[in-house]
């Protein structure tokens, strides 16, 4: 008769809920699993049994009520180091773990019962996606463009309807799994005999194999075909942008849907222009005389040359905006700006005539000329 404090073993209060008890149990099971304590395995095994015993009682409302009232339960649990002597039938259906599924789920993430249901038959699998690249000009980004795309994909064989068997019906029962689609194996473990199952590698889980292959697809259920589609690329698309065409990819398996087609857009750049969102950036270089007196420059824009007046006295690094001359938005067609940075070039050498003119200019502006370095230094 056990006099142990089950609440203390699971480290929970006496008014703990069933969820709190279960959570504490799972935490302790992972901590004290004997396989994790190779040096003190015997101690871990005893601790593990205590945890199991406590959980069996506290997880059962009737046993818990009896324990709270009398301090023990009528049937000593875990007394033989395995299943309770009162257990009968499939250990996955009952036992000290509220069903062995709880423990299985704690360590492996799913219960054996759910595994058997999902592996009994092959599941439908979506087909693989296809990626193709389309190259367009910058002008196409401004107004949009329609492109014809040709590519190759796997499609369901019409002769066998994707089954791979002649006329879609030439099947026989798989001799390896006897039509169940799964292979079961038994293994003796610390917990007793555990039955595991895996998908049959001969039939792929379908429970049947092809007795006569389809002459069109050779038993694959798929055929290779070329496909052409017309795709409207909207204005404002960016380089590297992707467009998705639903069901444009490869055919699925076991009746699964087609994958998708992804079209990757590559935009041919215009030399000297850099895009950032809707705005486009470029630079223009003028000499120091043009910066001082003002000038007119021609700027390469998205839609051709743009004329810009540079006012007198423009400083190096000055920024100008050509409003509405950038890229359109892919959402509302509004356009960004063309932003131009002005670089002022200073000549490395001057002719004697140019030098004399600048000396006279320096005198009128009270500047000092250092003839040795041919530089201008303002006091």
Q: Are residues 285 and 255 both part of a single domain?
A: no
- Indicate whether 363 belongs to any domain: no
Q: What is the pLDDT of residue 192?
A: 67
Predicted confidence (pLDDT) at residue 217 exceeds the cutoff of 50: yes
* Burial status of residue 278 (CB atoms within 10 A of its CB: 0-12, 13-18, 19 or more): middle
Cα-to-chain-centroid distance, residue 86: 49
Q: How confident is the model at residue 229 (pLDDT cuts 50, 70, 90)?
A: very high
Q: Are residues 243 and 300 both part of a single domain?
A: no
- Indicate whether 336 belongs to any domain: yes
pLDDT, mean over the chain = 81
Q: Are residues 83 and 18 both part of a single domain?
A: yes
Q: Are residues 37 and 87 both part of a single domain?
A: yes
Neighbours of 77 (CB within 10 A): 22
Predicted confidence (pLDDT) at residue 136 exceeds the cutoff of 90: yes
Contacts of residue 60, defined as CB under 8 A and 6 or more positions apart, other chains included, come to 98
Q: Are residues 316 and 235 both part of a single domain?
A: no
Q: Are residues 149 and 37 both part of a single domain?
A: no
CATH no. for residue 63?
A: 1.10.287.110
Task: Report the first-to-last Cα separation within the chain, whole angstroms.
Answer: 104
CATH no. for residue 327?
A: 2.60.260.20
Q: What is the pLDDT of residue 226?
A: 95
Q: Which of 82, 109, 136 is the last residue of a domain?
A: 109
Q: Are residues 133 and 61 both part of a single domain?
A: no
pLDDT per position as a tens digit, 245-268: 999 999 998 889 999 999 999 999
Q: CA 118 → CA 167, 208, 305, 331, distances in Å?
A: 28, 17, 65, 44
The β-bridge relationship of strands 261-267 and 130-136 is parallel
Find the Cα–Cα–Cα–Cα dihedral 17, 21, 22, 26, rounded to 10°.
150
* Burial status of residue 347 (CB atoms within 10 A of its CB: 0-12, 13-18, 19 or more): exposed
C-alpha torsion sign, points 342, 346, 351, 352: positive
- Indicate whether 184 belongs to any domain: no
Structural domain span for residue 32: 6-109
Q: Which token pair is 204?
A: 């792929």
- Indicate whether 85 belongs to any domain: yes
Residues in the chain: 379
- The model carries a pTM of 0.55
The β-bridge relationship of strands 192-199 and 338-345 is unpaired
The domain tally of the chain equals 3
Instruction: State how far the Cα of 8 lies from the Cα of 124, in Å rounded to an integer.
Output: 49
Q: Are residues 151 and 279 both part of a single domain?
A: no
Cα-to-chain-centroid distance, residue 123: 22
- Indicate whether 241 belongs to any domain: yes
Instruction: State how far the Cα of 168 lies from the Cα of 211, in Å rounded to an integer.
Output: 11
Give the whole-number percent of the chain exceeding pLDDT 70. Answer: 80
- Indicate whether 203 belongs to any domain: no
Q: Are residues 15 and 99 both part of a single domain?
A: yes
pLDDT per position as a tens digit, 324-377: 999 999 888 789 999 999 999 988 888 888 888 888 888 887 655 554 444 443
- Indicate whether 371 belongs to any domain: no
Q: How confident is the model at residue 97 (pLDDT cuts 50, 70, 90)?
A: very low
- Indicate whether 329 belongs to any domain: yes
Q: Which helix (H) or strand (E) holds 345?
A: strand 338-345
Contacts of residue 152, defined as CB under 8 A and 6 or more positions apart, other chains included, come to 224, 225, 226, 227
The β-bridge relationship of strands 279-287 and 274-276 is antiparallel
Contacts of residue 368, defined as CB under 8 A and 6 or more positions apart, other chains included, come to 362, 377, 378, 379
């Amino acid at each position: 008769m056990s006099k142990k404090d089950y609440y203390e073993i699971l480290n929970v209060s006496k008014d703990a809920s069933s969820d709190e008890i279960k959570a504490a149990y799972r935490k302790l099971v992972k901590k004290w699993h004997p396989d994790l304590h190779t040096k003190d395995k015997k101690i871990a095994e005893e601790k593990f049994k205590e945890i199991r015993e406590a959980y069996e009682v506290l997880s059962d409302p009737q046993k818990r009520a009896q324990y709270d009232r009398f301090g023990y339960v009528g049937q000593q649990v875990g007394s033989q180091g395995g299943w309770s002597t009162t257990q009968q039938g499939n250990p996955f259906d009952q036992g000290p773990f509220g069903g062995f599924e709880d423990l299985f789920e704690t360590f492996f993430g799913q219960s054996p019962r759910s595994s058997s249901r999902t592996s009994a038959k092959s599941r439908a699998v979506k087909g693989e996606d296809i990626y193709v690249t389309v190259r367009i000009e910058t002008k196409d980004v401004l107004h949009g463009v329609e492109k014809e795309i040709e590519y190759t994909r796997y499609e369901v064989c019409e002769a066998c309807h994707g089954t791979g068997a002649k006329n879609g019906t030439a099947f026989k029962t798989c001799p390896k799994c006897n039509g169940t689609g799964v292979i079961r194996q038994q293994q003796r473990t610390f917990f007793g005999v555990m039955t595991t199952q895996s998908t049959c590698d001969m039939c792929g889980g379908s429970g049947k194999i092809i007795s006569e292959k389809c002459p069109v697809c050779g038993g694959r259920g798929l055929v290779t075909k070329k496909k052409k589609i017309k795709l409207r690329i909207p204005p404002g698309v960016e380089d590297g942008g992707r467009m998705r065409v639903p069901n444009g990819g490869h055919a699925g398996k076991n009746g699964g849907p087609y994958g998708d087609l992804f079209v990757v857009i590559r935009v041919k750049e215009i030399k000297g222009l850099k895009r950032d969102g809707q705005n486009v950036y470029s630079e223009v270089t003028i000499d120091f005389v043009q910066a001082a007196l003002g000038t007119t420059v021609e700027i390469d824009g998205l839609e051709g040359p743009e004329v810009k007046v540079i006012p007198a006295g423009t400083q190096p690094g000055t920024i100008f905006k050509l409003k509405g001359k950038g890229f359109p938005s892919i959402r509302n067609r509004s356009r960004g700006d063309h932003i131009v940075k002005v670089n002022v070039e200073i000549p490395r050498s001057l002719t004697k005539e140019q030098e004399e003119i600048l000396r006279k200019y320096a005198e009128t502006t009270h500047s000092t000329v250092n003839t040795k370095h041919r530089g201008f230094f303002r006091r």
